[in-house]
């Protein structure tokens, strides 16, 4: 909020994120000191460069942020990356103290194709491994694997299939890297071969067993329940058991993740299509669930009336964005990690846990059908609206009475 803090220091520390990206092992104080040295005499230059984007930011405001996300932010990021590259080259040429720690120019400059081919020269070896260890699938297995990402068969075959498929995915990534379309991770001085194994174990393009899908459903149903309970606990200071059921689960969250995994499995290789279809799928599920509850129970368990881009109060733009972000995080990061963790347990144990949870869930569902979870903070939207209406009527009557007295 000061000229020194808001302007001078902002530009003194401007290069810190770029320096950290190049070498995350540099100590924080060294990063700040190096940024200050590199920006010495160049802060006004960076300020002028910043000013040239004022018009673009106004366009972003005029388009409600659309232009910012689609064009301005990438454009500005690329521009200041070029600014950093220019300052980096000058600082290294001048022998500025600390620039010897900047060791990863391939973050912003394409590597030579011959160097990339030499660095990634084990692709053919990986290809031979795939050919020698490929798993033959039955027509039924092919159908479920391709269309639903669901594994039907022996677990030993699944491990072999997933290993071959992960190597196939890795080869595809490496070929794109050689073409110069992706960052060459192996040219990073901090890179080691273990990184490939980590990326394979957390790969999203894998198959899941039915037990994993069931447990993922319950895990995310519990997470969703905890999320909504926490919101009311922080906002209102009271514990509210959210949802139509009585147990610690909100099925709309778990079923959303499970359906994304199964129904949208064939589009998982294309994240853009995946996120768009996730918005559509989750929107339909949330809308129909709200409609079903209101039709059968005569009450609403959520109401987005007044929210931006809401449809009959059943869904809204904000909620769909949360589902999209959460769905992508679940599909590409969280569920693979959960699956990797569950793979260390005996399948019989997972099956028993899944069956017990299904029995408890079914019992709760049957009981809640006749005795739904209702009350304050759960289904009292109509009460709030009626109370507001009564207050308005009372105020209008009082105002008329005062006028008559006058």
Q: Using CA atoms, how far apart are residues 318 and 330, in angstroms rounded to an integer?
A: 18
At 360-373, the pLDDT tens digits run 999 999 998 888 87
Q: Do 178 and 281 belong together in one domain?
A: no
Rounded Cα distance between 23 and 12, Å, is: 19
Q: 354 and 262 share a domain?
A: yes
> In which residue are the tokens 């894998």 written?
206
Name residue 311's beta-bridge partners.
Answer: 315
Residues 228 and 361 in one domain: yes
**134, 101: one domain:** no
Residues 181 and 134 in one domain: yes
- Is 386 a domain residue? no
Segments forming the whole domain that contains residue 169: 122-145+158-201
Is the CB of residue 149 less than 8 Å from the CB of residue 207?
A: yes
At 169 the pLDDT is 84
pLDDT at 402: 45
Q: Is residue 174 part of a domain?
A: yes
Structure-block tokens of residue 294: 């209101």
pLDDT reported for residue 400: 46
Asked, for residue 261, whether it belongs to a domain, the answer is yes
Residue pLDDT, tens place only, 202-223: 578 888 999 999 999 999 999 9
Contact 232, 377 (CB under 8 A): yes
CA 70, CA 189: separation in Å to the nearest integer?
33
- d(C-alpha 195, C-alpha 170), whole Å: 12
Q: How far is CA 130 from CA 123, 186, 189, 204, in A?
A: 11, 22, 29, 19
pTM of the full structure? 0.66
219 and 248 Cβ atoms separated by less than 8 Å: no
Asked whether residue 70 falls in the same domain as residue 181, the answer is no
- For residues 223 and 335, membership in a common domain is answered with yes
Residues 88 and 236 in one domain: no
pLDDT the model gives residue 262: 93
Residue 202, pLDDT score: 55
pLDDT at residue 384 in the model: 42
Amino acid 212: pLDDT: 93
Q: Using CA of residue 42, residue 47, residue 51, residue 54, what is the dihedral sign?
A: positive
Which tokens hold the place of 204?
């999203």
Is residue 56 within 8 Å of 76, Cβ to Cβ?
yes
Instruction: Return the SS3 of 308.
Output: coil
Q: Are residues 235 and 345 in the same domain?
A: yes
Q: Say if CB 256 and CB 323 are below 8 A apart.
A: yes
**pLDDT at residue 395, rounded to an integer:** 39
In a domain, 383, yes or no: no
Total domains present in the chain: 3
CB-CB contact of 354 with 342 (8 Å):
no
Q: For residue 259, with 0-12 CB atoms within 10 Å meaning exposed, 13-18 middle and 19 or more buried, which class applies?
A: middle
For the chain, list residues with pLDDT below 70.
1, 4-6, 193-202, 375-406
Same domain, 134 and 245: no
Say how far residue 303 (Cα) sits from the centre of its chain: 25
Domain-embedded: residue 231? yes
Read off the tokens for 287. 């809308």
Q: What is the mean pLDDT of the chain?
A: 85
Torsion, CA 244, CA 247, CA 248, CA 250, rounded to 10: -30
Distance between CA 369 and CA 289 in Å, rounded? 14
Quick one: pLDDT at residue 199? Answer: 54
Has residue 312 been placed in a domain? yes
Unique residue bearing structure tokens 């064009």: 71
């Amino acid at each position: 909020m000061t000229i020194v803090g808001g302007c001078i220091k902002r530009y003194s520390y401007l290069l810190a994120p770029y320096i950290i990206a190049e070498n995350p092992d540099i100590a924080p104080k060294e990063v700040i000191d190096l940024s200050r040295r590199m920006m010495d005499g160049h802060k006004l230059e960076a300020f002028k460069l910043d000013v040239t984007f004022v018009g673009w930011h106004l366009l972003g405001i005029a388009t409600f942020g659309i232009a910012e996300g689609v064009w301005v932010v990438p454009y500005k990021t690329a521009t200041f990356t070029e600014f950093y590259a220019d300052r980096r080259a000058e600082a290294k040429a001048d022998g500025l103290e600390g620039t010897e720690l900047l060791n990863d120019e391939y973050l912003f400059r394409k590597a030579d194709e011959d160097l990339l081919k030499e660095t990634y020269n084990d692709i053919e070896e990986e290809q031979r491994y795939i050919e020698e260890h490929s798993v033959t699938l039955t027509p039924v297995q092919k159908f479920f694997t391709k269309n639903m990402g669901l594994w039907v068969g022996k677990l030993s075959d699944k491990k072999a299939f997933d290993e071959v498929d992960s190597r196939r995915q890795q080869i595809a990534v490496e070929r794109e890297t050689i073409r110069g379309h992706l960052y060459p991770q192996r040219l990073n001085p901090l890179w080691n071969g273990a990184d490939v194994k980590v990326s394979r174990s957390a790969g999203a393009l894998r198959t899941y067993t039915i037990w994993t899908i069931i447990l993922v459903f319950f895990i995310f149903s519990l997470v969703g329940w905890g999320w909504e309970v926490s919101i009311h606990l922080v906002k209102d200071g009271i514990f509210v058991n959210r949802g139509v059921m009585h147990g610690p689960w909100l099925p709309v969250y778990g079923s959303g993740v499970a359906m994304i995994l199964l129904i949208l499995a064939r589009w998982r290789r294309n994240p853009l299509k995946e996120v768009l279809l996730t918005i559509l799928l989750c929107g339909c599920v949330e809308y129909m669930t709200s409609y079903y509850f209101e039709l059968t129970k005569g009450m609403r368990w959520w109401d987005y009336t007044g929210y931006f881009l809401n449809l009959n109060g059943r869904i809204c733009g904000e909620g769909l964005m949360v589902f999209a972000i959460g769905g992508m995080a679940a599909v590409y990061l969280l569920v693979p990690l959960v699956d990797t963790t569950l793979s260390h347990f005996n399948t019989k144990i997972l099956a028993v846990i899944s069956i017990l949870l299904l029995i408890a869930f079914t019992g709760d569902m049957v009981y809640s059908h006749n005795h739904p979870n209702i009350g304050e903070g759960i289904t009292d939207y109509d009460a709030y609206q009626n109370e507001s209406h009564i207050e308005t009527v009372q105020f209008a009557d009082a105002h008329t009475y005062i006028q008559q007295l006058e």
